Chains A and B, each alone.
Chain A
Amino acid sequence: MRRFTLIAVPYFWLLVLFLVPFIIVFKISLSDTALAIPPYTPTLDLSSGWEGIRGFFAALDWENFTFLTTDDLYWKAYLSSLQIAAISTLLTLLVGYPVAYGMAQSPDEWRPTLMMLVILPFWTSFLIRVYSWMGILSNEGFLNQFLLWTGLISEPLQILNTNKAVYIGIIYTYLPFMILPIYSALEKLDASLLEAAEDLGCSRITAFWLVTIPLSKQGIIAGCFLVFIPALGEFVIPSLLGGSKTLMIGKVLWEEFFSNRDWPVASAVAVILLLILIIPIVLFQRNEQKQREAEGQ
């Protein structure tokens, strides 16, 4: 009996507040927009019995999805989300790897401190961290003032409200997610492996390429997914740092919902975003699984 309660309570909670909402989104994505409250039809009317249910299902269609494919705003938004997420993941890797490597190579007594320094921003408000770049990247912001002062540029650069600012924002906020898995992979790396490689005739750099990189592969993959997946559906960063031309699907969904009040289209956008996300999520899970198995040996 206790076991039943133990399982039933969290199970029921998640069913009602996670799965059911999801089914509702799917259902509404098949409905039509209406000038009503709620702003879509059909609504399920159980009072008219079977007829009502049949009529309800008959009124559902894929119209919104067809609409998404015909209006190029949407597929451009999907493509540009994918592109922005991919590029910024790669850039985050380039910034994060040397930091993780440096941490793994640092003296033992330094590591807890360095670790804390990486985790600290994670506990700080996401919104504030994104916001902190607004003052730096604006035309009269800190970065432009600095560059003008050094004489590198004569005109302020337009960075804020462009995709560049979005890249910077993503790298900045998701950097800890990249550093931590790579660090934990590099930390486990036995230093004698590198010595063995050098003993067998590798230079420092070839040893790095042939030993360190392959052995930290799992960490790199995990880090990339941990950045790519949330970046794809990101809303705050493109909304605060991006411009009107920055198309990201999270932002489109938000605007569709709050500004256009087109719930069925917003729902359809959500359903497709999820379908796109399933691929990297499944790949990520498989990578994690492989790692667990490798460690379980």
Chain B
Amino acid sequence: MRRFTWFNATSLTLGFVFLYLPMVILVIYSFNASKLVTVWAGFSTKWYGTLFQNEAFLDAAWVTVKVAVVSSTFAAVLGTMAAYVLVRGGRFMGRTLFSGMIYAPLVMPEVITGLSLLLLFIGIGFDRGMMTIILAHTTFSMCYVSVVVSSRLVSFDRSLEEAALDLGCSAFEAFRLVTLPIIAPAVISGWLLAFTLSLDDLVIASFTSGPSATTLPIKIYSAVRLGVSPEINALSTIMISIVTVGVISASLISKRAAVKQKRDEMAAERTAD
């Protein structure tokens, strides 16, 4: 049985303090009454109030959510297709180029992706706005989805698909009735990843957005470039809370499912006749 040694406990504590302290401070100071963000002047929720009256922020938030929902949905579909092609597609012309194009955006600096997409949109005379951000986000996040889904597909027992074919399915039916339901969790986590990436993205959105559409990260960036602002602290607190609640509940749900599965399996072996 492993136990915490002094050394391990210390390094873990220091590591996690480092990871979490800045965010904790941010949250605490979002309730600071003072405009001077580094001086504590008593508890107040007034910055949340001003935040919710700030039309520009609310508009940007709304645009961001719309972009994220649409682009991550596209990305989930395209990424799953791409993953299936990569893992199950066999050989076809230009396969190497295809897999290169899937992996390259993962390591590509955002400034380059953003710049190149912008130059494309200008080159073909496409007006920049929400549509262009969606196209850009779909493109890079479909690659992330594809990586998540293909790692699930690689570990997928191929004989399940063969069994479906053997029992009379066409290739498409086998995908719809067997493969898709089984890889669905991976597709969903791919969607979530794409959604988060889209919500977070500043650089690519800055390049590809037009005057008609500003996303929340762009707004935040232009607000904080000049220094710390209490309104942004409040906004950050809201965003951190949403993510924390989401991640913790997701992990609790999956933990519960794992425990149930384990219990079922043990029960099954006990009752074996």
Contact = CB atoms under 8 A, between A and B. Distances in A.
Given A13-B142, A236-B202, A250-B109, A135 B8 contact: no
B122 interface: yes
B181 interface: no
B57 to A, nearest CB: 14
Interface stretch (A14-22, A51-59, A63-71): A14-22
B117 A230 contact: no
A2 B120 contact: no
Contact of A107 (B2, B97, B135): B2
B72 to A, nearest CB: 14
A17 B136 contact: yes
Main secondary structure of the interface of A (DSSP, over half): helix
A19 B19 contact: no
A6 B220 contact: no
Interface stretch (B80-88, B161-169, B260-268): B80-88
A13 B139 contact: yes
B115 A18 contact: no
Contacts of A108: 2
Interface string B105-142: 10111111001110110110000000000011011001
Given A172-B18, A236-B202, A7 B85 contact: yes
Main secondary structure of the interface of B (DSSP, over half): helix
Contacts, number: 233
Contact of A235 (B29, B102, B203, B243): B203
A150 interface: no
A21 B2 contact: no
A270 B112 contact: yes
B196 A123 contact: yes
B9 interface: yes
B14 to A, nearest CB: 8
A74 interface: no
Contacts of B82: 10, 14
Given A13-B78, A117-B16, 19 more contacts: A2-B171, A6-B85, A6-B89, A10-B79, A11-B98, A18-B101, A18-B139, A96-B15, A98-B15, A105-B2, A107-B3, A119-B247, A127-B200, A128-B236, A129-B23, A131-B220, A131-B232, A138-B228, A263-B119
Interface of A: 2-3, 6-7, 9-11, 13-15, 17-22, 24-25, 28, 38, 95-96, 98-99, 101-103, 105-108, 112, 114, 116-121, 123-129, 131-136, 138, 140-142, 145, 172, 175, 179, 191, 229-230, 232-236, 239-240, 250, 253-254, 257, 263, 266-267, 270, 273-274, 277, 281, 284
Interface of B: 1-5, 7-9, 11-12, 15-16, 18-20, 22-23, 25-26, 29, 37-38, 78-79, 81-82, 84-85, 89, 92, 94, 97-98, 101-102, 104-105, 107-112, 115-117, 119-120, 122-123, 135-136, 138-139, 142, 146, 171-172, 196, 199-200, 202-203, 207, 217, 220-221, 224-225, 227-228, 232-233, 236, 239-240, 243-244, 246-248, 251, 255
